[in-house]
Amino acid sequence: MRLHYEAWGEGTPFLFLHGFLGSGDNWRTIARSLDLPARYYLIDLRNHGRSPHADEHTYPAMASDIVELMDAEGLRDAVILGHSMGGRVAMLLAMHHPDRVRGVIVGDISPASHAPVHLPLLEALARVNLHVARREDVEAQLAQSISEPAIRQFLLKSLTRDVQGRFQWRWNLPVLIRDYPKMTASLEGPPYHGPALFLRGQLSPFLIEAHFSLIRMLFPKAQILTISNAGHWIHVDNPEAVKQAIREFWMRL
């Protein structure tokens, strides 16, 4: 599958993989301000953003998409940063294709199974009637189930119009809903012995101390760093700490 991506810069390939219901540009502000000797790739994963839709949404399929992109771009290996869903893709890629991963940065997610926390969002999105005239009409429907304005605005970033001017979601929503249980299962694979950095949000339930032993079993060289005053969206809540952690990791590669 030919994924959509935005790329710039010269140097070591640095791939950014976004979270569930997001898109590659979620990390543009961070990437633009890192000032590293890197060629940055902000990638839309399958069934998200401007990438193609497919009738499968699993971590092995998404990891294979990244390998295909790297092959097409002539990238022997790369540093991979993934947040949430993208972090799990990055972990699986590192475990099963270690020769293609120079180092891995995982944003606020672990290889352990987690609760189906996105189900309320998926259920709310499935109820939305897109046959309306204004963007505000879509947001008003979301507000009936999603009280946090920031989450509604995040979701609305994936609202667009087709060639006839009708609203549509960029996601392949039916497949995401059907395959969502596969998104929450634990990851398996051989240990990755390369450099690894796990960034956990201090206020987030996604990566907790109970997960540390599994992380260190699968990623023996892992550094686990807590981003203070941050929830799951570490790059939004404390961008300066995230950027500093990325720069320090890069210098150790």
**Among all residues, which ones are annotated catalytic?**
84, 232
How far from each other are the two terminal CA atoms of the chain, in whole angstroms?
30
* Tokens 């097409």 found at: 72
How far apart CA 244 and CA 96 sit, in angstroms, is: 28
DSSP 8-state symbol, 204? -
**How far is Cα of residue 94 from the mean position of the Cα atoms in its chain?**
15
The H-or-E segment that residue 104 falls in is: strand 101-107
- CA 201 distance to own-chain centroid: 15
Q: Which residues of 147-162 are buried (b: 16+ CB within 10 A; e: fewer)?
A: eeeeebebbeebbeee
